[in-house]
Amino acid sequence: MRAAAALCAGLLAALLLAQPGDGAPARRKRGAADAGTRPVLLGTDPPGRLRPSSPNDGGAAPLDAGPDEVHQQLQALQSRVYQLERERAQSQEQAQLLQQLVGEMRDLRQQLAEAENRQRAAEQERAARQAQVQVAMSSLQAAQERLRTGDYAVLDELDQASSVFSGAARRDIEYARTALQNRDLAAARAHLSAAISHAAQER
């Protein structure tokens, strides 16, 4: 029992001595003098690894490298100018193409008009030729009828028919004229019949 009491008393005394009190000497605060010659580190870089600052930055913030508002407006105007130039070039090409097409259409219309005029003229000439041939055939037939009755006065009809026909028909008409001049009625009628036959082939 005495040993246990002594042990408890010793522990209590040790606890009392461990607490700071008025009589216990206070721990001295560590000041600048206690630091001795050890260097004081400032910042986050370890010794020997300090990053050198740029000599030109001067601590100023970097400027914006992009175009400012004036440059943006200038770029927009340049883009618009380029677009207008392209549109003008396209318009000029379209105008030239349109002018070329108009010229081609004008030429085609002129060619069509000329072709129609030629066709119309050919039709008119053919119609006139048919009319002349018909009149000449009527003259030859009338001359043949008059010769059949013994009338020799058919030279006017022969002249009219001779100016219309060509080739064998005209040759036969000339033979009939010669026969009439010789007062050969039979030969004149024979040549006149041949002229009518050849003239029918020319119609």
Cα dihedral 33/38/39/44 (nearest 10): -110
Residue 134 placed within a domain: yes
Interval 122-160: pLDDT, tens: 999 999 988 988 899 988 999 999 888 888 888 888 988
| Mean confidence (pLDDT) of the chain | 77
Residue 21 placed within a domain: no
To 5 degrees, how large is the angle CA 7–CA 13–CA 14?
A: 90
Q: Give the number of domains in the chain.
A: 1
- Looking at per-residue pLDDT, the higher value among 35 and 174 belongs to 174
For residues 138 and 164, is the Cβ–Cβ distance under 8 A? no
Domain span holding position 179: 76-201
CA dihedral for 22, 25, 29, 33, sign (positive or negative): positive
What pLDDT does 8 receive? 52
- Looking at per-residue pLDDT, the higher value among 17 and 83 belongs to 83
Q: What is the CATH number of the domain that holds 133?
A: 1.20.120.660
DSSP 203: -
CA atoms within 13 A on the CB side of 63: 6
Residue 47 placed within a domain: no
Residue 54 placed within a domain: no
Residue 18 placed within a domain: no
Interval 76-127: pLDDT, tens: 888 888 888 888 888 888 889 889 999 999 999 999 999 999 999 999 999 9
- Looking at per-residue pLDDT, the higher value among 185 and 29 belongs to 185
Backbone angles phi, psi at 21, to 5 degrees: -140, -170
Residue 100 placed within a domain: yes
- d(C-alpha 94, C-alpha 125), whole Å: 46
Q: Name, of 32-41, 46-55, 61-70, 109-118, the range with top average pLDDT.
A: 109-118
Residue 107 placed within a domain: yes
The 3-class secondary structure across 120-187, one letter per residue, is HHHHHHHHHHHHHHHHHHHHHHHHHHHHHCCCCCCHHHHHHHHCCCCCHHHHHHHHHHHHHHCCCHHH
Residue 135 placed within a domain: yes
Q: Looking at residues 162-171, what average pLDDT do you find? A: 89
Reported confidence tier of residue 24, pLDDT bands at 50, 70, 90: very low
